Amino acid sequence: MAESIDESGALVHDDKGPKGVSMHELSIAEDILGLVATRMGIGQQISTIHLTLGPLSGVSAHALQFCFPELAELQGLGRPRLIVDEPPAQVRCLDCGYEYGLRNFSDGCPICGSWNRDVQGGSQFTVDWIEVEDT
Amino acid sequence: MGTPTKRTIDVVSPVMAKNNEIAARNQKRLAEAQILGINLIGSPGCGKTTLLESMASILGTAMFVIEGDVQTRRDADRIERAGCAAYQIETGGACHLNAQAVSEALDHLEPKFGACRYMAIENVGNLICPSAYDLGEHVKVGLLSVPEGDDKVLKYPSLFSRIDVLLVTKIDLLPVMEFNRDRVKTECRSLQPDFVAFELSGKTGQGVEEFCEFLDTKRRALLVDA
């Protein structure tokens, strides 16, 4: 949220809704809830949302977990649990041929230490399944 | 009321689908107007606006600029003084541009599209958040300035794994800074092989013409594809 100091010296939060957020995970949480609402309709009691988040998606699972429940509640979707699966990217070492999963890109090949590699995937970001409660 | 029963519903939907749909429309709209879209992503102060000013002296009125900043229209004013049409998006706090904001900027600029050949979009200064949002560009450019240091590529892999062009900027400072240009390119190659690298200085103009020639080639390819 944008902040400024008003004439009295007090800190003012400038809440402009979707445009007034200061980390993109909040915009992304809104996108997820929008997607869920489109799919499920409003007023459903959603207990769990399952996501897959690749290490090259540019999204922090931690930041998403932080803002998600409050936002969901504000939108009348309860306080769903967010399960985030963070699979590694698949990598083939171009020097020794070893194939491995990689999450931290400053790590070299676990066998030969090389950074000369072919990276497959890693940028996936999907909602996989939702669990709803019927009462 | 009975015991609540739970049921699971398969969705399997990309979270960014809505943004990407609008981005695809932006990209098509620009291509149909024979305009190359360029998304410039880099830290605050890495030299994005200075580069655009330098490009303006070469491309003149053929370049339009969409400026993304949290606040102020200072950058749009700078671009207009350099002789190009500019439209300022003030995000009011958001750390990135999205495809919808760019679509609205294109609505404003479209009546003046006549001479436009290049639509440069200067994203909000940030190496993380803008990487998640396609805007409808044809060329995604990642800028890294010499003073930021040569160790940044693997710290921000989501950006550098997606770029078409790596620009090392402020090379006029190389004599006074320790900066290994090969390291930057090697680390970028460890994320993906499909990028082109240029080294330039918006301040002195060194290397800017080569970058503009590359954009011209890209634009011509766009016409062939269309």
Do residues B143 and B42 make contact, with C-beta atoms less than 8 angstroms apart? yes
Position A9 scores a pLDDT of 39
Q: A11 - beta bridge partners?
A: A5
Using CA coordinates, name the residue in chain A closest to B132.
A58
Element (H, E) at B2: none
Is a pLDDT exceeding 80 seen at residue A16?
Answer: no
Position A41 scores a pLDDT of 75
Position A75 scores a pLDDT of 83
Using CA coordinates, name the residue in chain B closest to A16.
B92
**Beta carbons of A39 and B11 less than 8 Å apart:** yes
**Beta carbons of B4 and A133 less than 8 Å apart:** yes
Give the number of A-B residue pairs with CB atoms closer than 8 Å. 131
**A43-76, pLDDT tens digit by residue?**
778 899 999 999 999 999 998 998 898 898 888 8
Looking at per-residue pLDDT, the higher value among B143 and A16 belongs to: B143
Is B182 an 8 Å CB contact of chain A? no
Chain B residues with CB under 8 Å of A131 CB are: 6-9
Position A14 scores a pLDDT of 42
Nearest CB neighbour to B10, from listed A23, A118, A129: A129
Structure tokens belonging to residue B61:
């009125």
State how far Cα B190 lies from the chain centre.
21
Using CA coordinates, name the residue in chain B closest to A94.
B190
Chain A residues with CB under 8 Å of B190 CB are: 105, 115-117, 119
Distance from CA of A22 to the nearest CA of B (A): 5
- What angle is formed at CA B118 by the lines to CA B193 and CA B27, rounded to 5 degrees? 65
Interface mutation target, options B190, B191, B195, chain A, most CBs of A under 10 Å: B190
**B62-96, pLDDT tens digit by residue?**
999 999 999 999 999 999 999 999 999 999 888 99
Position A13 scores a pLDDT of 38
Structure tokens belonging to residue A37:
């609402």
Give one DSSP letter per residue of B6-75, joined into a string: EEEEEEEEETTHHHHHHHHHHHHHHHHTT-EEEEEE--TTSSHHHHHHHHHHHHGGGEEEEEEESS-SHH
**A111-120, pLDDT tens digit by residue?**
999 999 999 9
Q: A118 - beta bridge partners?
A: A92
Distance CA A51, CA B13 (A): 10
Interface mutation target, options B15, B72, B159, B195, chain A, most CBs of A under 10 Å: B15
Chain A residues with CB under 8 Å of B192 CB are: 119
Rounded to whole angstroms, the maximal C-alpha distance in chain B is 76
3-class DSSP assignment, residue B191 = coil
Distance CA B65, CA B35 (A): 12
* CA dist A61 → A15, A67, B178 (Å): 24, 10, 35
Distance CA B165, CA B42 (A): 12
**Beta carbons of A39 and B131 less than 8 Å apart:** no
